[in-house]
Amino acid sequence: MNQNFRKVISAAGLLCLCLLLVGCGQEAADQQAEESGDRRGEHKLDPFTSIELSVQAPHVHLEVGEEYSIRYSLHSRETIKELEVRDGVLHFSTGLDPKWKPDGSSHEVVVTIPETAELERVELRSTAGDVELTDRTVDEGILSSVSGNVSVRKLQSGRLEASSTSGDLVLEGAFDTVKGHSVSGFIELAGQVSAGAVLDTVSGEVRYEAPFGALTAESIGGVRLDGEKQGSRLSLGSGEPAVELSSISGTIFVGTAEE
């Protein structure tokens, strides 16, 4: 009886050891997956006129090339959920392993389009990466990042919306209407606005260097016109473009930015 009991105890101990080794092996496998390197790819695409792109960690931008294509380098913990051109729209999105958080690393997604390509609606979103749209003409642009910066340069757009929680917004070009929002980052708009602009931030600065018809600017952090202090509120002009600038605690600069 004692001998049988010892056999049972021995078998139970062996089972526990096996379970422990399996657990350690899984943990090692997870660690190896995390350190195994980037997930890379490049694909030629059918022509498209709009883009809907949403990723987690990578930086995002467009470039000019000979044909429609997309290339990416993703963290091994970030997986592709959708990659398809459907009804003239490029759909690209990624998902994230819940055990890993975006770290703002150097991964990127690059969409290539021919020089003569015409774009209608471009929507680019990243959780931790920067988003950039440069030297293009689009009917509508929607750009956002949670912790990265949003940069628009030499852009012509009918309607532009840009947002970031902790990143900065730099918007340069010619627009019909612009909406920009940030919580702690600054917002800078320069160029031409024909119909109107609304820029608001909680604690960041706002810099506006474009023509305006009617302009209102308000912040307890103060408003400056061509570098001169104007108090906490400024109201100028009438007509279009109507411009609204607001911040809770950041300074607002209108006209010539303060050196």
In one letter, which amino acid is 157?
S
- How far is C-alpha 59 from the chain's CA centre? 7
Alpha-carbon Rg for the chain in angstroms = 25
Residues 6+ apart with CB under 8 A from 76: 33, 34, 35, 36, 37, 38, 39
Least trusted range by pLDDT, from 6-10, 56-60, 197-201: 6-10
**Token pair in block for residue 100:** 């890993």
Dist. CA 49–CA 92, nearest whole Å: 14
For the residues 62-90, what does the mean pLDDT come to? 96
* 32 vs 126: which has the higher pLDDT: 126
Query: CB neighbours (10 Å) of residue 197?
Result: 24
Residue 172 near residue 152 (C-beta atoms within 8 A)? yes
Residues 6+ apart with CB under 8 A from 233: 216, 217, 218, 223
For residue 58, is pLDDT > 90?
Answer: yes
Query: CB neighbours (10 Å) of residue 185?
Result: 26
For residue 170, is pLDDT > 50?
Answer: yes
- How far is C-alpha 115 from the chain's CA centre? 24
3-state secondary structure of 82: strand
Dist. CA 104–CA 59, nearest whole Å: 8
Whether the upstream peptide bond of residue 114 has omega within 30° of 0, thus cis, is: no
Mean pLDDT over the full length of the chain: 86
For residue 4, is pLDDT > 80?
Answer: no
- What are the start-end ranges of the H helices in 111-200? none
Dist. CA 74–CA 59, nearest whole Å: 10
Confidence of residue 33 (pLDDT cuts 50, 70, 90): very low
Q: Would strands 69-74 and 39-44 be described as parallel, antiparallel, or unpaired? A: antiparallel
- DSSP for residue 87: T
- Report the residue count for the chain: 259
Residue 103 near residue 128 (C-beta atoms within 8 A)? yes
3-state secondary structure of 33: helix
187-234 per-position pLDDT tens digit: 999 999 999 999 999 999 999 998 888 999 999 999 999 999 999 999
- How far is C-alpha 46 from the chain's CA centre? 25
CATH of domain 37-129: 2.160.20.120
The ranges assigned to domains in the chain are 1-36, 37-129, 132-259
Q: What is the pLDDT of residue 32?
A: 41
Q: What is the pLDDT of residue 12?
A: 47
97-122 per-position pLDDT tens digit: 777 666 556 799 999 999 999 999 99
124-142 per-position pLDDT tens digit: 999 999 999 999 999 999 9
The residue behind tokens 């009886």 is 1
Residues 6+ apart with CB under 8 A from 34: 76, 77, 100
